[in-house]
Structure 1
Amino acid sequence: MAKIGIYGSSFDPVTNVHLWTASTVAHRCKLDRVIFLPCSSKRKDKSLNTTDEHRIAMLEMALKNNEKFILDDYEMNQDSWNVYTYHTMQHFHSLFPGDEVSFIMGADLLEDIAEGKWKYSDELIANNKFIVMARNGIDMLKTISRSPLLRNYDDGTRFHLIDKGLAMEISSTYIREELAKGGEPRYLLPDACYDYVKNHGLYQ
């Protein structure tokens, strides 16, 4: 049985923090693979800053030297903007029957689920395991204990909380803002991706 983590994000652009986070999670949780899942540009809750083609190209460059990292454009290829994590996880469970598939997310998203902001949240929590990464200012244990939904499924294996050394705040947003204002974020994203951004005039 393989252990697989599904790492969804906009990756707009992919950053060195994304890669470092995925590598650390894979090491600590003994994952065999981390699937990088760029979100659909059709989603109404996302405002993306470049095209799917650019995001895919940068991810391909960033992931090519790590055999544990896999790019999957499943959500990008859905016809509808109405793409929900519950259905995405159903897809990956059917794709990897018999394997342990977990959803990787930040503690901020755990709070959103606890507050009922996600569609099919009951079904999502009931049928999946989660690797939850620390975010500054969020107490993950309190988030779970205060939510009837989360605490009633907390059997000791549902949520793998990683609360040490992962609360880094350098984000894709930070990099885009630096580029837009003439800053220099060169060492915050892979060299090939930095060159790609510059060559294509992205985020200017």
Structure 2
Amino acid sequence: MAKIGIYGSAFDPITNVHLWTASTVAHRCKLDRVIFLPSSSKRKDKKLYTEDHHRWNMIRMAIKDNEKFSADDYEMKQDPWKLTTYETLNYFKEKYPNDDIYFIMGADLLVDIGEGKWSHAEALVKENKFIVMARDGIDMLKAISKSPILRNNDDGQTFHLIDKGLAMEISSTYIREEFALGGEPRYLLPESCYNYCIRNSLYKERKL
């Protein structure tokens, strides 16, 4: 039985911190695999700046040398009005029925789930396991204790909280702004992805 972490994000573009975070989580939580799950540009709740195929290509380039990393374009292929994290995790549990599946997320998303902002929030927590990374200003234990959805569906193994050492920030937004304004974001993202952005003139058309 393997331990698999599902790492969802826009990856617009993927950054070196995305890779470092995935590697650190895999090491600390003894994961056998981390699956990078790019969100679809068709989603109504996210504004993305690059077509799906560009983000997918960059993810594949960024992770190709790490045998623990893989990518899945499941969400990119789904109808956006039917897409929720609950369905996504059911997909992975059906795909890997003999493995333990963990959803990797930041503490800000934990708060949102606890406040019922996600579809099927109660079933999502009750039926799944989460690796939660600390975010500045968020007390994760307090967030769990104050939310009936979180505390009443926690069997003691639902949440793996990582509260130290994951505060490094290089945002995709910063990288997009650097490209758009003629800056130099080299070394903030994998070299292959940096060259891909230059070659395809990504993020240069407008101020982001």
| Superposition TM-score, scaled by structure 1 size | 0.98
Partner residue in 2 for 1:77: 77
Which residue is equivalent to 2:181? 181
Shift of 1:136: 1.1
SS at match of 1:188: coil
1:14 counterpart = 2:14: yes
The question of whether the paired residues in 1 share the 8 Å contact of 2:122 and 2:153 is answered with no
Q: 2:121 maps to which residue?
A: 121
Q: What amino acid is aligned across from residue 193 of structure 1 in structure 2?
A: C
For 2:131, the aligned partner's letter is I
Structure 2 distance, partners of 1:8, 1:186, is 24
What percent of counterpart residues are identical?
71
| Range with greater deviation from structure 2 (148-157 or 62-71) | 148-157
Equivalent in the alignment of 1:52 = 52
2:30 aligns with 30
Report the TM-score when normalising by structure 2: 0.96
Structure 1 residue runs of 5 or longer lacking an equivalent are none
Amino acid at match of 2:107: A
* Count of residues in Structure 1 that have an aligned counterpart in Structure 2: 204
Confirm or deny: 8 A CA contact 1:40 1:81 kept in the other structure. Answer: no
Cα distance in 2 between the residues matched to 1:76 and 1:110: 23
Unaligned 5+ runs, structure 2: none
Q: Is the 8 A contact 1:3 1:32 kept in 2?
A: yes
SS state at 2:187 partner: helix
Match of 2:133 in 1: 133
Match in the other structure for 2:158: 158
- Structure 1 residue aligned with 2:101: 101
Matched residue, 1:64: 64
SS in structure 1 of the partner of residue 75 of structure 2: coil
Deviation at 1:181, TM superposition (A): 1.5
Superposition deviation, residue 40 in structure 1 = 1.2
1:131 and 1:162 in contact (8 A); partners too: yes
